[in-house]
Amino acid sequence: MLYCVMMEVSLPRDLSAEEIQQLKEREKARAVELQKQGKFVHLWRVAGKFANISIFDCDSNDELHDLLSSLPMFPYFKMEVVPLAKHPSSIK
């Protein structure tokens, strides 16, 4: 099943620059791992925001939840999840 996940990040103001850098590095490492596994199939930055739009390919809602909650920045995300279905006019 494909899911469109829109994530906007809101980090606490009391995190130090070093803590933020470490968090970003851990987030990137986990995102790369999920992409290599074929679960995180697309990732786009939203211009002008600390946000992204991603496409995940998961077997179930529970698997998606587990993957999202494994992201180090998960506690700081405001997310919207949209399950996707094939459009009848799509040629792909």
How much is the pTM?
0.89
Question: Residue 7 contacts by C-beta under 8 Å, 6 or more apart in sequence?
Answer: 51, 52, 53, 54, 77, 78, 79
Helix (H, G, I), strand (E, B) or coil at 72: coil
* CATH code where residue 42 lies: 3.30.70.1060
Q: Examine residue 42 and state whether it is found in any structural domain, yes or no.
A: yes
Per-residue pLDDT tens listing for the chain (92 residues): 999 999 999 999 999 999 999 999 999 999 999 999 999 999 999 999 999 999 999 999 999 999 999 999 999 999 999 999 999 999 98
Count of domains in the chain?
1
Q: Examine residue 6 and state whether it is found in any structural domain, yes or no.
A: yes
Domain range holding 25?
2-84
